[in-house]
Amino acid sequence: MSKLSLQVGAKDFDIKLDEGFYEFFLEDFRKNFDDRRAIEVKELLNAYVQKSYDEYKNKQEIKQLFDIIDKI
């Protein structure tokens, strides 16, 4: 387990993540927040909405792939 410390708004949070996921999360977090450890609530909400939209698009693409596979 690895620990990541963040400040969201004015509150401090410690997040414990498994090693493999920690590396993935940290790389993605750095892309979204420029390696800052203090982020605003609005930034976090915007990032969450973007991740949700990305997941929605991925699920649509997976469904399209399954539909193509079913036709073969």
Residue 40: closest CA among 16, 6, 15, 17: 6
Stretch (H or E) spanning 13: strand 11-17
| Residue-averaged pLDDT of the chain | 95
- 9: pLDDT strictly greater than 90: yes
Cα 68 to Cα 48: distance, rounded to the nearest angstrom:
30
| pLDDT the model gives residue 27 | 93
CB of 25 within 8 A of CB of 33? no
Residue 33: closest CA among 46, 24, 22: 46
Instruction: Look up the domain containing 35 and give its range.
Output: 2-71
Contacts of 43 (CB under 8 A, 6+ apart): 33
| pLDDT the model gives residue 72 | 86
- The number of domains in the chain is 1
When pLDDT is cut at 50, 70 and 90, the band that residue 43 belongs to is very high
